[in-house]
Amino acid sequence: MTDRKDETKPHQAPGRDAAADPTPGAPPASGTPAATPPSPEPADVAHKDAPVAGEAEGTGTKQYTGAIENPILRVDDLRVAFDIRPRGAWPWTPSKKLHAVGGVSFDLAPGESLGVVGESGSGKSTLARAIVGTIGSTGGRIEFEGEDLASMSERQRRAHRKDVQMVFQDPLAALNPRMTVGDIIAEPLITHEPKTPRKEVRRRVAELMERVGLLPNLVNRYPHEFSGGQCQRIGIARALILKPKLLICDEPVSALDVSVQAQVVNLLKELQRDMGLAMIFIAHDLSVVKHISDRIVVMYLGRVMEVAPSKMLATEPEHPYTQALIASVPIPDPVLERQRQRPVLGGELPSPMSPPSGCVFRTRCPKAKPDCAQGLPPMLDLGGGHRVACPYHEEPSVLDAARQSRRAG
Ligand SMILES: Nc1ncnc2c1ncn2[C@@H]1O[C@H](COP(=O)(O)OP(=O)(O)OP(=O)(O)O)[C@@H](O)[C@H]1O
Ligand code: SF4
Ligand SMILES: [Mg+2]
């Protein structure tokens, strides 16, 4: 593992020394990604003003989350903002910026499975769409196999579109109702490799259908003839027909019955292992993510709060937000569930159009201190791949009591 250079430590506080970490790491409104990338400022300017989350463009306020050698994917201080025009505004009224992703950095190793969790609106899908390349970024870099996405040639872009595939949340909506299952699965192959002989296309479709647990003789059926779980299997087969290197699954099971969720998660896990795929698995639910991910990134309001190997994050969460997420998962035992102390996560997710200054979680954090408003908290390295963006993570709070009662359960 190598580390990149940490440029700033804007938020000094007790707890572990930030210097120990030399480095890295919905419905949409009618917005479009803001076009102009920000121009970088010297790092020393960055310390003067506490940056508002998501407005940290070029101010040297990166929160590194650990770097690995030869990653398949490197996301470096990625920012995505949408231009939002208020309803009924005059044409000359300036649009506002909605900071959906406000400076996210992480690396993904080939064959690694990375979970991304966070509440609705925390920027997970926007992050995924930026990595796939369907929306542009407003700052930072995305490198796939060492190539900067923003400066790829058309040929490299085509290769990128083949190498990075997505599985979507609503399986039925993602499939064209007028196409047969065989045609749906084959479509990306025919588009990207039009010279593939028809016989070979049919062979690959049948092979994949079998691999994802669908009978190949259903190849001429239409999506409405399948259950939600089966439709998701069709979506997975379609995503895999081009033999991608990275599969991004955006809430692939949240629209499915609980009884089917585990089957689809297990299928994805098997495919990821057998095909040596790198995977980003996005979900609200930590208990789903931890089964499939080697590491987990916790996002809140477009920023990374904590990163750790899955087991470590599930058993030793350090960030107050992660602790609250874990505490909100019900304990299956009704007696323990009734006795358990629930942490109070006050208030709603703030608007990404005017995120809190400093630590974006401070308006709901039971450990918040006045200086949490002053600057971005540093990403502290706790060792073993565990990083947390909170200098007060060791201080006790109601969340620790909740954690104790969960452990007892
Ligand atoms: N095209 C768009 N135009 C304007 N705003 C958008 C657009 N896409 C997303 N947003 C906004 O960006 C923020 C992050 O949205 P995103 O869909 O990435 O969150 P999410 O974490 O995937 O949420 P969910 O769990 O509900 O899917 C939200 O406030 C959302 O309304
Ligand atoms: S104590 Fe709470 S508000 Fe302050 S930095 Fe940590 S998480 Fe953010
Ligand atoms: Mg989403």
| Percentage above 90 pLDDT, the chain | 65
Cα–Cα distance between 111 and 97 in angstroms, integer?
Answer: 36
- CATH classification number, 18-145+245-408, choose in 2.60.40.150, 3.40.630.30, 3.40.50.300, 3.90.580.10: 3.40.50.300
Cα 199 to Cα 62, 203, 210, 218, 241, distances in angstroms: 51, 6, 17, 17, 15
Average pLDDT, integer, range 257-286: 93
DSSP 135-178: S--SEEEEEETTEEGGG--HHHHHHHHHHEEEE-S-TTTTS-TT
Using CB atoms within 10 Å of the CB of residue 365, give its burial: 0 to 12 exposed, 13 to 18 middle, 19+ buried. Answer: buried
Tell me, what's the pLDDT at 21?
A: 34
Greater pLDDT, 286 or 10 = 286
Ligand number with the minimum distance to the CA of 397: 2
Task: Identify any residues that bridge with 102 across adjacent strands, giving them in sequence order.
Answer: 79
Tell the residue nearest (CA) to atom 6 of ligand 2. 390
Nearest-angstrom CA–CA distance, 80 and 89 = 23
Q: What is the per-residue pLDDT for 287?
A: 85
Distance CA 171, CA 215 (A): 18
Ligand located closest to 355 CA: 1
**Residue 389 corresponds to which tokens in the numbers above?**
């963006």
Secondary structure (H, E, C), 270-327: HHHHHHCCEEEEEECCHHHHHHHCCEEEEEECCEEEEEEEHHHHHHCCCCHHHHHHHH
pLDDT at 348: 82
Domain spans in the chain, listed from the N-terminal domain onward: 18-145+245-408
Q: Is the CB of 150 under 6 A from ligand 1?
A: no
CA 204 to ligand 3 center in whole angstroms = 31
Angle of helix 198-211 relative to helix 228-240, nearest 10 degrees, comes to 130
Question: Using one digit for the tens of pLDDT, what is the confidence trace for 103-117?
Answer: 999 999 999 999 999
**Rounded to 5 degrees, what are φ and ψ at 334?**
-65, -30
Whether residue 320 has its Cβ less than 6 Å from ligand 2: yes
HSE value, Cβ hemisphere, 13 Å, CA-based, for 396:
2
Length of the chain equals 409
Give tens-digit pLDDT for 324-376: 888 877 666 666 656 666 655 667 889 999 999 999 999 999 899 999 999 99
Q: Report the chain's mean pLDDT, rounded to a whole number.
A: 82
**Cα 340 to Cα 225: distance, rounded to the nearest angstrom:** 44
